[in-house]
Structure 1
């Protein structure tokens, strides 16, 4: 059972745009999106840090979880859904950034947000929709 649902758009990274272009030009296949990473570096004081397309990693990754499901990118739905179970997170973690990670470890899409405190015993469903 999900105690908390968070859905947000994320910036598609330059890495992933390059992989898409390479794939379209007949290059290698795209790696699957396999994980969602969470970190606590998306905020500096009261302000959100920027989420530029040239990011290659989270500011401060603390946890990486397998993607629970992927859906087709429909304008009203998320592409990737992950469940963040409080028991898996570092005690008292307040995540303020999330990213989609492919099978090769590349950052596909990235988002910063107001810190969300992970409370003991809760399950968070996080949905990310890359903004193309």
Structure 2
């Protein structure tokens, strides 16, 4: 969260802070406008680029650290036999009833999905999974 907020800092915020810090130390902030080595890059621009780069690196490291901890937590939960992710809304008994109504053309796929309280695509996916898992007759 900290690094996400730091990335929102604007260049002019960095530049203003630099100018204020220099003035507080009795240094003329106009030195920030000096070009470096005949280039069109000023001291101020260089410092801003360095600060932004450091913030971006810290944010990336923070994100990777979070993902590693998250991955480790998932692995530990799975190893302990706990379910990970959103629980299924599928109730086998109610699905079988709705599936039978759908297969006998009493209701449409849209109506079946509404009865189960899921999206139509979810109903069709469950239907496909049920058909793939059903024993095939010779």
Shorter-chain TM band: under 0.3
The TM-score normalised by the length of structure 2 is 0.19
Structure with greater helix percent: 2
The higher radius of gyration belongs to 2
Structure with greater strand percent: 1
The TM-score normalised by the length of structure 1 is 0.19
Greater RCO structure (CA 8 Å; 6+ sep): 1
